[in-house]
Amino acid sequence: MSLNEVKKLIRTNRIKFIDLKYSDIFGRLRHITFPANRIDKVVREGLGFDGSSLPGFKPVTASDMILLPDLSTAFIDPILKEPTLSCFAQIYETTKKKRFERDPRYILEQAEDRLKKEIGCDEVLFQPEFEFYIFDRVEIITNKSMNYARFETEELQWEDKTGYLVFKGTGYHLAPPFDRSSDLRSQIINLLNAVGIEVKYHHHEGGRFSQVEIETAFAPALKTADQILLVKYLVKNLALSLGKSATFIPKPIYDEPGSGLHLHHYLTKRNISLFADTRAKNKLSKLAQYYIGGILAHTPSLCALTNPSTNSFRRLIASFETPISAFFSFADRTAAIRIPGYIKSWQELSIEYRIPDATANPYFALAAILLAGLDGVKNKIIPNDSPQPKTNKVINIPRTLNQALAELKNDHNYLTKTGIFPIELINVYIQAKEKEAESVAQRPHPFECKLYYGC
């Protein structure tokens, strides 16, 4: 969208404010708002901000940075009450001529460009599956004398007077009246469509506490990462406006299904998937096999970027259709990479990476997956197609965040050798995440008290 088109949109819709959205290094959505009548000045000069106030960005001694609107991402924001046009921003150094090397969007842009150049593909396409829980009441208390979290939903009231209770293991594709959030999900879809996000479908997921799924359509890598942040933004704000709470945390409830962010993915040349070869025994091209091999080989270190929370690894256990080792398979939902069995056209053959979750910074996660796949192609890495291969050592998924961070310390050359991921960023990221893990480890757990209180 050009500046003139944006200004016409502002006039036509009587827009009063422009909201610039961007991501910090941990994938948290940030924003700053300015009056719409300043659009020319901001497009020309940018909007200054304090980079030292964002962990991992800048030291206080050199903190000045600039946000420049990416007008191609502009949309009328359906959440904000005042008429507001939102768009994502690019982060620059103060010269406005040099992109900030730790800008998550810039890192993904570079990774996508590198892949296209070295493989010769036209498009890099992703399709995320958003799994999340919708609660009616949430209490989270953590202090020196109290640690607990309580989640309530109308789908599982202990004194329910309707009789329409959801029993364990029955939630998948459940219909109303058991499915209490169907209309809410349709409202979410209306919001997504309003901002230009195409949706395939929505449905109730396997979890009893109103676990749901929304799957969007394939889109280019950078657009997909933007959309991941927007979907979370729209879902959480709509739920809040209706007196509910939506969460993308991977494992909020013990012994119930976790929520992942499965990523379907393929590369195209002239609108045909480069992953397909109908002459091959398994219909996978050599490129696809090497690409899969690279992702699987680097999966332990990738987890530090695709599953960067202590809670992530409570989901990655041997149950609820979650992978615990790095292998690929057709139609197997315990595989780290699944080749969907219901693809109707080999020209659209895609792979599904089932490990990631929504605690990830989507720009880092997608960029890292691309670079891991590229490394597999360049080094012709043969992937494991079984959880118990006869000749190759099984690659296990880390059991904890600390294990994943240790893997990233030892295996990051595929990310940093081209300069796309600055080594300083990797180091800052690891230090921050180690601190997170330590802060969780230091706190007594309620179940510990149950186990050991009477010792």
Listed residues 47, 76, 100: the one ending a domain: 100
| Region 318-337 average pLDDT | 88
pLDDT band at 390 (very low <50, low <70, confident <90, very high): low
Element (H, E) at 240: helix 221-241
Say whether both 71 and 208 belong to one domain: no
8 Å CB contact between 164 and 297: no
Say whether both 18 and 116 belong to one domain: no
Listed residues 42, 76, 100: the one ending a domain: 100
Residue numbers of the domain that contains 79: 3-100
pLDDT band at 391 (very low <50, low <70, confident <90, very high): low
28 is catalytic: no
Residue 233 resides in a domain: yes
Say whether both 268 and 378 belong to one domain: yes
**One of 136, 352, 375, 407 is an active-site residue; which one?**
352
| Region 43-55 average pLDDT | 94
Percent of the chain topping pLDDT 90: 79
**One of 28, 38, 137, 333 is an active-site residue; which one?**
333
Residue 105 resides in a domain: no
pLDDT, position 431: 97
pLDDT, position 158: 59
279 is catalytic: no
| Region 19-47 average pLDDT | 96
pLDDT, position 319: 79
| 159-181 tens-digit pLDDT | 667 778 888 888 889 898 888 89
* CA angle 125–130–132, rounded 5-degree value: 165
pLDDT band at 392 (very low <50, low <70, confident <90, very high): low
The angle, 0 to 180 degrees and rounded to 10, between the axes of the packed helices 286-297 and 362-379 is 120
Burial class (CB in 10 A: 0-12, 13-18, 19+), 75: middle
Say whether both 79 and 179 belong to one domain: no
118 is catalytic: no
213 is catalytic: yes
Say whether both 83 and 174 belong to one domain: no
Say whether both 323 and 235 belong to one domain: yes
Quote the number of domains for the chain: 2
| Region 412-426 average pLDDT | 96
Q: Hey, how many other C-beta atoms are within 10 angstroms of the C-beta on 399? A: 12
Q: Which amino acid is at 294?
A: G
Say whether both 259 and 129 belong to one domain: yes
pLDDT, position 160: 67
Say whether both 143 and 181 belong to one domain: yes
Count CA atoms within 13 Å of residue 174 on its CB side.
25
The larger pLDDT score, comparing residue 236 to residue 178, is at 236
Say whether both 317 and 188 belong to one domain: yes
Say whether both 156 and 255 belong to one domain: yes
**One of 70, 77, 123, 213 is an active-site residue; which one?**
213
Q: How far apart, in whole angstroms, are the C-alpha atoms of residue 169 and residue 321?
A: 12
Asked if the model's pLDDT at residue 224 lies above 70, the reply is: yes
The CATH code of the domain that includes 299 is: 3.30.590.10
Listed residues 77, 100, 123: the one ending a domain: 100
Average pLDDT score over the chain: 93
Asked if the model's pLDDT at residue 146 lies above 90, the reply is: no
139 is catalytic: no
The CATH code of the domain that includes 58 is: 3.10.20.70
